[in-house]
A = this chain, B = another copy of it.
Amino acid sequence: MYSSELIKGTLKTIILALLSDEEKMYGYEITQKVKNLTGGKIQLTEGALYPTLHALEAQGILTTEVVNVGNRLRKYYTITPSGKTVAHEKVTEFSEFMATMLILLDLQPRAGEA
């Protein structure tokens, strides 16, 4: 589990990246997928996830559809076309940010080094 401080600010990027791949996920499913893909190293808390999903919906980035499964309800989130653009921008930006951090933290392998 990474220190929460480190994960800060990446939640929207994670959500949008997953929904760009899957086109339809519900909240709990997102928490499980993140947990599985990261070997438990990133675990989204519901208190952070749900308000963010609601905000993304309010911004027109996601749309929702409530489905009854058995006696329980699931709220599926789908990314909108404009949301796909936002998702792509966010992922690209994070990718560039990582490259910048590699330089800054001096983690970049350079020629002529052991």
Contacts and interface: CB of A to CB of B under 8 A. Distances in A.
Interface of A: 2-3, 5-10, 12-14, 17-18, 21, 34, 37-38, 41-42, 91, 93-98, 100-107
A95 to B, nearest CB: 6
A43 to B, nearest CB: 12
Nearest to A5: B9
A5 B9 CA distance: 5
| Number of identical monomers bound together in the oligomeric complex | 2
Contacts of A38: 100, 103-104
A100 B1 CA distance: 11
B98 A37 contact: no
A105 B101 contact: no
A25 B9 CA distance: 28
A93 B6 CA distance: 9
A104 B10 CA distance: 11
B37 A93 contact: no
